[in-house]
A and B are shown apart, each in its own frame.
Chain A
Amino acid sequence: MESASLLVQTLNKAAVQPRIPSSVFEGLFVRGLEPNSPLLRALGAEGYDPKCPDVDYPMQVWKRCVALARDLVYGELSDAEAYRILGRKLTEGFADTLVGRVAAVALPMIGAARVVERLPRYLAMMGRPDLEVRVVSAGERTRRVTIFDTHNRPEFIAGALEVALERAHVQPLITVEERSHLGFRLLIRW
């Protein structure tokens, strides 16, 4: 009985594994990074062909492709530096995709606080409606944001959020305050 319940839980977990839309891949790997040949070959081997993209991809393909970009493009940097830059490239590139342009057009008009409030919506646009996000105000220009994401590095999300806030005309400072097996907490100041 117990094992049946475990099996159901495991199957449910597998069933809700997020899928990452090709516009997110296009944002990072085509428009953000403008990949060199070795990276293109490596991405192709993982199943992502920018010239013939699928509608979306399993999370595991996304993770392997991001890890490849980290090694092949920013191999000389530390993990924290490399993933933060990759996060920045993701938002810069995604904002240049068709879907991203629709979403990014409001950023300069809504202000930094609303950009942070809308983080769950932005993550959903990028294929992660499953993520639980908790935002706690710690002052007029400070927020603590807990994101229950076990797939992406905190620095990657921090870098992505930095660019979104810069488009809202502020200079953000985002640090990783805490990380655990369930996710991480970011301290965002601007």
Chain B
Amino acid sequence: MAYPPRLGHLATRPVVVAKLTPTYARAHRIDEEEAAQRLSSALQGRLLPSLLEEAWLAMRGKSKRLDDEGLLEKVATTLRDRPMRPGRVAEASPAWSAFLVLADLEAGTASEAARRVMESPEGRQRAQEGLAEVGRFLAAELTRGR
């Protein structure tokens, strides 16, 4: 695991789901309740640690002033009052789309054709870009507090 265990205790699956739900719901044109259910299912496996790893990388890259403890304290402060505060709606991009398709594959709601797309060399590259972009988004959401 390439992120501190405390990050996983702070940014739990429900917290991450809350941050991603508005974007997922808009992309799929579904209501937020269903979006949250699907995301929760998608993040049950390997996708959540991968995402937290990217988020941690982004946090460390962005904040030169704070050490690891300081960063984690900032996350804790951000999440203290309203940990389930919904995230912003991100602009659609190929990288975000790739991440959302990955999430659908994990949740079992994507087609075989989507799996073929993501298993192609381009698909794998976009998936990595997607994880990085959503990691940056999550990092911003987890550190935007006081």
Q: Does chain A bind chain B?
A: yes
Contacts of B117 in A (CB 8 A): 99, 102-103, 125
* A99 x B122 contact (CB < 8 A): no
Contacts of A105 in B (CB 8 A): 94, 126
* A23 x B113 contact (CB < 8 A): yes
CA distance A19 to B114 in the complex (A): 12
* A127 x B118 contact (CB < 8 A): no
What is the minimal beta-carbon distance from A164 to any residue of chain B, in angstroms?
A: 14
* A121 x B120 contact (CB < 8 A): yes
Using a Cβ cutoff of 8 Å, how many contacts connect chains A and B? 62
Q: B106 near A: Cβ within 8 Å?
A: no
Contacts of B114 in A (CB 8 A): 21, 23, 99
Which of these binds chain A: B42-50, B61-69, B97-105? B97-105
What is the minimal beta-carbon distance from A184 to any residue of chain B, in angstroms?
A: 22
Produce 1/0 per residue, B83-114, CB < 8 A to A: 00000000011100110110010000111111
* A121-B120, A125-B116 as given contacts; A101 in contact with B97, CB under 8 Å: yes
Produce 1/0 per residue, A101-133, CB < 8 A to B: 111111000000000000001001111010000
What is the minimal beta-carbon distance from B20 to any residue of chain A, in angstroms?
A: 14
- Count of chain B residues near A, Cβ 8 A: 24
Contacts of B126 in A (CB 8 A): 102, 105
What is the minimal beta-carbon distance from A36 to any residue of chain B, in angstroms?
A: 18
What is the minimal beta-carbon distance from A110 to any residue of chain B, in angstroms?
A: 10
* B111 x A106 contact (CB < 8 A): no
Select the residue from A56, A101, A103, A104 with max chain B CB neighbours within 10 A: A101
Q: A55 near B: Cβ within 8 Å?
A: yes
CA distance A99 to B99 in the complex (A): 10
* B118 x A102 contact (CB < 8 A): yes
Q: Which residues of B line the A interface, CB within 8 A?
A: 27-29, 92-94, 97-98, 100-101, 104, 109-114, 116-118, 120, 122-123, 126
Q: Which residues of A line the B interface, CB within 8 A?
A: 19, 21-24, 30, 51, 55-56, 98-99, 101-106, 121, 124-127, 129
CB-defined A-B contacts under 8 Å, sample of 26: A19-B111, A21-B111, A21-B112, A21-B114, A22-B111, A24-B113, A30-B29, A56-B112, A56-B113, A98-B28, A98-B97, A98-B100, A98-B101, A99-B113, A99-B117, A101-B92, A101-B98, A102-B94, A102-B98, A102-B117, A102-B122, A102-B123, A121-B120, A125-B113, A127-B111, A129-B113
Across the A-B interface, give the 4 residue pairs with the lowest CB-CB distance, nearest first: A21-B111, A101-B97, A105-B94, A21-B113
